[in-house]
Structure 1
Amino acid sequence: MQIETIKAYHVVQPFVDGPYRMSKGRVAGAFDAVIVAITSDSGLTGWGEMAPLGNFYSPAFAAGVRAGVIEIAPHLLGHDPRALASIGRLMDTVFKGHPYIKSALDMGCSDLAARAADIPLVTLLGGRESETAELYKVVTHGTVDAMAALAKRIVKDGFHRLQVKVGGNVHDDIERVTAVADSVPKGTVIFCDANAGWTPYQARQFTDATRAIDYTFEQPCTTIDECMSVRRSLDKPMVLDESVASLDDMLDIHRKGAADGLTLKISRLGGVTKTRQIRDLAVDLGFMITVEDTGGAEIDTSAMAHLSLSTPEERRLHAIAFHEWVTVRTASNKPPVSGSRMGIPDGPGLGIDVVPDLLGAPFFEVGS
């Protein structure tokens, strides 16, 4: 089996609920996605997707993905897409760094490898641990009243897990989180996510003032050492996200005891294959795990779901349904969501039946 053609599409995916807001004025109105179709000489096609959340969330930007895919894709022609480790090494050899550019290509090869075996991708990733994963919803940054009202509405809709965006003015965020916690039933799971927006000084101010609230603290500061300095005086669990960009980062966090859980972003790590590698070792080391990504629609959400459901349930935190965030469709089906839980589509590979006509014309095509 060999890769015969690769096509790449540019699809802008506006948000259903309008602009997505984080602290410090960071805002995005859409996912700016690249979708790749990798077709083998057997006639099978695998699909991959990568979409950054603006230019501020991760060290990735949409124009960089489009330019990088054009550089890497020709080197993959003639190679076996099922040899995922070999494909990864080849991409790292011909294009130094920039893992986010390689993510959609690795995802497409992973989908194609599972389709060739006529099995769902979850089976290749270690096997299905449960039928569905619990979803969380994001309480985006805003006024105290707006955030409390949004949290109340999310819980009314049947969700029990909230990620509350903080990382702005400390005293204002203390007021925001207090209002959110007061507006939802006791037992609602709350994560306070600063997205690396604070100094250790600011993070300690926040944690000291919110000791009476039950929450998990997510990525308060930029570096692992800064987060570790906050953790020393913290009486709550800590999860790191932006700090996990490689296997070395994960091992460094483990050595230092800097976190209880990790959020693994597929594109930040370079694709499904490397995410699975880091996920498996992190599970064995005792971390709680969330597998998600920076954005996308049905294809990327399905990849997140397959990785989530192949994570042991006792080590899994939660998941997110990005395809419900956007106004556009890229496929005739989608990861099934029932209430506050998400499963995976039926069928081999990712299980997603992409409709090429929904993607527009490819901006790049290589191969016969």
Structure 2
Amino acid sequence: MKIKSIKAYHVVQPFVDGPYRMSKGRVADCFDAVIVAITSDSGVTGWGEMAPLGNFYSAAFPAGARAGVPEIAPHLIGQDPRGLAGIGRLMDTVFKGHPYIKSALDMACWDLAARAADVPLVTMLGGRESDMAETYRVVTHGTLDQMAALAKRIIAEGCRRLQVKVGGNVHDDIERVTTVASAVPKGTVIFCDANAGWTPYQARQFADATRGIDYTFEQPCTTLDENMSVRRMLDKPMVLDESVTSLGEMLEIHRRGVADGLTLKISRLGGVTQTRLIRDVAVDLGFMITVEDTGGAEIDTAAMAHLSLSTPAERRLHAIAFHEWVTVRTARNAPPVTGSHMGIPDGPGLGIDVDPSLLGEPFFEIG
């Protein structure tokens, strides 16, 4: 089997609930996605997707993804898409760095390989560990009343896990989290995610003032040294997200004991291949795991679901249904969401029935 053609599409995906707000004035109105279709000489097509969250969240930006795919794609023509490790090495050889650009291409090869084998992707990723993964939803930055109202609405809709955005003015964030925690039922799982927005001084202020609230601390500071200085005084679990950029960084987090859990972003790591590798090693090392991404719709959410459900249930934290965030559709089906749980679509590969008519004309095509 050989790769015969590659197409790339640009799809803007506005948010259902309006702008997505983080601390320090960071705002995004949409996911700005690149969707890739890779077709083999046997006529099988695999799909991949990646979407940075604006220009501020990761070392990735939408225009960079659109510019990078045409640089890499010609080198993949004629390659066997089932040789996934080799595809990864080839992309790293011809295009140094920029793992987010490679993510959709890598994902499409996994989808194609699983479709060609007539098995769901979860089977190739180690096997299905459970039928559904529990999901969380985000309480974005806003006024106290706005955040409390959003938290109550999320709980009323059946979700039991909240990620509350902090990382701005510490005293305001103490009020925000206290208000949200008071507005939801006892036993609601709360993660306080600073998105690396604080200094250690600020993070320790926050942790000290909120000792009476049951939550998990997520990525309070930028560097491992900074997070470790907070970890030493913390009486709560800590999860790192932005710090997990490679296998080497994950191993350093483990060596230094900086975190109890990890959030693995598919595009930040360069695709399904590296995410699966880091996930498997991290599970063996005892970390709790969340697999998600920086953004996307049905295709990317399906990849997240397959990786989540092939993670041992006792090591899985939660998942997120990004396709429910956006106003546009890219496929005729989606990962099924029932209450606060998400599964995987039926069928081989990602199980997603992508509708090219929903994507517009490709901005790049080779074959």
TM-score (norm 1): 0.99
Q: Match for residue 110 of structure 1?
A: 110
Q: What secondary structure is seen at the aligned counterpart in 2 of 1:319? A: coil
Cα distance, 1:144 vs structure 2: 1.0
Which ranges in structure 2 are unaligned for 5 or more consecutive residues?
A: none
The residue correspondences of 1:273-288 to structure 2 (distance < 5 A) are: 273-288=273-288
Aligned to 2:98: 98
- Partner in structure 2 of residue 28 of structure 1: 28
Residue 156 of structure 1, CA deviation: 1.1
Counterpart for residue 66 of structure 1: 66
List structure 1 segments (4+ residues) > 6 angstroms apart after TM superposition. none
Which amino acid in the other structure matches residue 280 of structure 1? D
Aligned-partner Cα distance in 2 for 1:344–1:214: 31
SS of equivalent to 2:178: helix
SS at match of 2:48: strand
DSSP 3-state at the match of 2:34? strand
Q: Distance in 1 between matches of 2:56 and 2:320?
A: 20
User: What secondary structure, in the 3-state scheme, does the structure 2 residue paired with 1:262 have?
Assistant: strand
Alignment of 1:1-368 (within 5 A): 1-367=1-367
Deviation at 1:35, TM superposition (A): 0.2
Deviation digits for residues 220-244 of structure 1, max 9, x if unmatched?
A: 0001111011000000000000000
Q: Distance in 2 between matches of 1:211 and 1:37?
A: 49
2: distance between equivalents of 1:266 and 1:23? Answer: 23
2:255 maps to a residue whose letter is: R
**CA-CA distance at 1:317 after TM superposition:** 0.2
Which secondary structure state, in structure 1, belongs to the residue aligned with residue 65 of structure 2?
A: helix
Residue 103 of structure 1: how far off its partner (Å): 0.1
Q: Could you tell me how far apart the structure 2 residues matched to 1:128 and 1:343 are?
A: 11
1:12 is displaced (CA, Å) by 0.2
> Residues 105-154 of structure 1, C-alpha deviation per residue, up to 9 Å, x if partnerless?
00000000000100000000000000000000000001111111111111
| CA distance in 2 between partners of 1:149 and 1:178 (Å) | 14
Deviation at 1:76, TM superposition (A): 0.3
Distance (whole Å) between structure 2 residues aligned to residue 23 and residue 316 of structure 1: 27
In 2, the alpha carbon distance for the partners of 1:156 and 1:269 equals: 35
Q: Give the C-alpha shift of residue 94 in structure 1.
A: 0.3
Q: CA deviation at 1:66?
A: 0.5
Q: Which residue identity lines up with residue 166 of structure 2 in the other structure?
A: V
CA-to-partner distance for each residue in 1:58-85, whole Å, 9 max, x for gaps?
Answer: 0000000000000000000000000000
Residues 305-335 of structure 1 deviation map (CA, whole Å, 9 limit, x = unaligned): 0000000000000000000000000010000
> Residues 152-174 of structure 1: CA distance to partner in whole angstroms, max 9, x if unpaired?
11111111000000000000000
SS at match of 1:171: helix
| CA distance in 1 between partners of 2:41 and 2:156 (Å) | 50
Output the CA distance in 1 between the equivalents of 2:288 and 2:345: 25
Unaligned residue ranges in structure 1 (runs of 5+): none
| Separation in structure 2 between the aligned mates of residue 334 and residue 158 of structure 1, nearest angstrom | 19
User: 3-state DSSP class of the match of 1:239?
Assistant: strand
Paired residues in the alignment total 367
Task: Report the Cα distance in structure 1 between the residues aligned to 2:306 and 2:226, rounded to whole angstroms.
Answer: 33
1:222-279 deviation per Cα after TM superposition (whole angstroms, max 9, x unaligned) = 0111101100000000000000000000000000000000000000000001000000
Q: Name the CA distance, whole Å, in 2 between partners of 1:226 and 1:332.
A: 45
Residue by residue, what CA displacement relative to the aligned partner does 1:76-109 show, whole Å, maximum 9, x if unpaired? 0000000000000000000000000000000000
**Paired residue type of 1:122:** V
RMSD: 0.4
Residues in 1 aligned to 2:225 and 2:292: alpha-carbon distance in whole angstroms = 24
Q: Structure 1 counterpart of 2:118, which letter?
A: D
Task: Report the 3-state secondary structure (helix = DSSP H, G, I; strand = E; otherwise coil) of the residue aligned with 1:36.
Answer: strand
